[in-house]
Chain A
Amino acid sequence: GESVGLHLPTLSVQEGDNSIINCAYSNSASDYFIWYKQESGKGPQFIIDIRSNMDKRQGQRVTVLLNKTVKHLSLQIAATQPGDSAVYFCAENGGAGSYQLTFGKGTKLSVIP
């Protein structure tokens, strides 16, 4: 079936730098996307979401960009902090009216103090 995938399985960044985590999705019917952060020993935590009628959405220190033409999603974290170290997952809903999420493989972000 269709799936969501990530370009980079691991990412190391210096504290204070910006981080960019990428995600490619293949289900063109998906109209809702979410980024989750999962710290060691915890469940996934909602970070930010975006609908397909938008191409950019900003939160506190995080920005999600959506490029529907190439089916690409990215999460930008500004001024990365040690507390940002975690595995980040993108997820897609598979289309309007679908409540089930398909998750990408995850990117491990390590912040170097």
Chain B
Amino acid sequence: SAVISQKPSRDICQRGTSLTIQCQVDSQVTMMFWYRQQPGQSLTLIATANQGSEATYESGFVIDKFPISRPNLTFSTLTVSNMSPEDSSIYLCSVEDLGAAQETQYFGPGTRLLVL
């Protein structure tokens, strides 16, 4: 499976500021996704990061709040904009290679964000 890294691994931010999270994969993958996991809860899909085009957002998530970039097949960023304490969560990227035998999503280690 692909090796996925995320930066930063954790951060503490002040409300009103923005944080950009990076996701790097060690091989080219077709699909990249961003999830949010609020404390003690399950994973919720934020958006699908499309290479070369705008991300596809799920209901309840908007581009102005969570702008996403995907400049190539191994890298994506998620920005959490104008943060509030409600944005305190773990943010996870995942990848899926449609060319692989299994259509499985593999996850990065996550970025733990605390907003004060």
Number of interface residues of B (CB under 8 A): 24
Q: Mark B21-55 against chain A: 1 for CB-CB distance below 8 A, else 0.
A: 00000000001010000000111110010000000
The yes or no answer to A95 lying at the interface (CB within 8 A) is no
Given known pairs A46-B1, A106-B42, the reply for A99 and B106 (CB within 8 Å) is no
Contact A99 B96 (CB under 8 A): yes
Is B42 a contact of A104 with CB atoms below 8 Å? yes
- Report if B75 contacts A (CB, 8 A): no
A45 and B105 contact, Cβ closer than 8 Å, known pairs A99-B48, A100-B48: no
**Partner-A contacts on B (CB < 8 A):** 1, 4, 31, 33, 41-45, 48, 58, 92, 96, 98, 102-110, 112
Whether the Cβ atoms of A42 and B45 lie closer than 8 Å is no
Interface residues on chain A, number (Cβ under 8 Å): 21
A25 at the interface (CB under 8 A from B): no
- Cβ-defined contact, B45 with A49, below 8 A: no
Instruction: Tell me which of B4, B96, B102 contacts A49 (CB under 8 A).
Output: B102
> Which residues of chain A have a CB within 8 Å of any CB of chain B?
32, 34, 36, 41-46, 49, 89, 91, 93, 99-106
Are A32 and B103 within 8 A (Cβ)? yes
User: B112 contacts which chain A residues (CB < 8 A)?
Assistant: 41
| A34→B42 contact, CB < 8 A | no
In the complex, the 3 A-B pairs of residues with the closest C-beta atoms, listed nearest first: A43-B107, A103-B43, A103-B42
Contact A49 B31 (CB under 8 A): no
